[in-house]
């Protein structure tokens, strides 16, 4: 599922208030625990704010060709 910044903000606000019921995009979701919300928040943050991928190159050299 593609998450948006608004979805993430709604989840963060609900966690800050200690609420297990969140409404976004016309849907209402009831979570079982804060741990479940925390796991989803990590997943949403990874999707909304992806880490840049760095390419690394290993260069080995010896004397001469």
Q: Which tokens in the block code for residue 24?
A: 């976004």
Q: What is the pTM of this model?
A: 0.68
Instruction: Kindly state the DSSP code that residue 26 receives in the 8-state scheme.
Output: T
How does pLDDT run across 21-44, given as a tens digit for each residue? 888 778 888 999 999 999 999 999
Which of the four pLDDT bands, split at 50, 70 and 90, describes residue 1? low
Report whether 6 contacts 12 (CB < 8 A). no
Cα distance between residue 43 and residue 58, in whole Å: 32
């Amino acid at each position: 599922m593609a998450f948006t910044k608004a979805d993430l903000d709604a989840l963060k606000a609900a966690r800050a208030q200690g609420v297990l019921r969140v409404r976004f995009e016309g849907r209402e979701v009831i979570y079982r625990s804060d741990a479940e919300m925390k796991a989803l928040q990590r997943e949403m943050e990874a999707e909304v704010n992806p880490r840049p991928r760095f390419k690394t190159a290993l260069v080995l050299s010896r004397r001469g060709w």
